[in-house]
Amino acid sequence: MHKQCQCGKPMGLELRKVVYADKVEILHVPVFSCPSCFSSEVLQHVTKDIKELLQNLGSKPTARRISFARNNELAEIIRRLVLEEADNPNVDWQSSLEERMELRINLLLDLYRYARSLGDEDWMNDVQKRLGQLSGFTSESVFMNTKN
């Protein structure tokens, strides 16, 4: 997956480790990176959740490792896609991402209906938050002005 860098070269989408306060390693953060000018940029659709995670950690967090993919549905979909398709040069990243997102949204909607049938408000809120992490995201926003 690629995006056009400000320098004109393609930026590849990678899962990176972000270190916060020299103590917390946040794994599986989707980041666009340019091999030419070495600039990088967190996938725009997950920046709000990254900021929220950092605020929850506070200014003096304890040392630990966190998987961002466990906290963000889109990051998890991308993580699985990268792991499962990394060695496949013929993969259509956009179609594969769209298909995986559709499957995940359908699963989350089923979970929401089930949680509602049980009257489990906490579970409903959790599923609703996860659905919100996927809403408004389209694969076109990742592949806009891109080259595969």
Mean pLDDT along residues 136-142 = 61
Residue keyed to tokens 């993969």? 91
Please check the confidence at residue 147 and state whether its pLDDT lies above 50: no
In this prediction, residue 20 carries a pLDDT of: 95
7 domain-assigned = no
Please check the confidence at residue 36 and state whether its pLDDT lies above 50: yes
Query: What's the pLDDT band for 46 if we cut at 50, 70, 90?
Result: very high
Residue keyed to tokens 């600039």? 39
In this prediction, residue 148 carries a pLDDT of: 37
Task: Give me the number of domains the chain comprises.
Answer: 1
Contact in structure between 131 and 109 (CB atoms under 8 Å): yes
Name residue 30's beta-bridge partners. Answer: 15
Which SS3 state, helix, strand or coil, does residue 41 take? strand
Please check the confidence at residue 145 and state whether its pLDDT lies above 60: no
2 domain-assigned = no
40 domain-assigned = yes
Residue 89 CA, chain-centre distance (Å), reads 22
96 domain-assigned = yes
77 domain-assigned = yes
Classify residue 41 as left (phi > 0), alpha (psi -120 to 50) or beta.
beta
Which residues form the domain of 59?
12-143
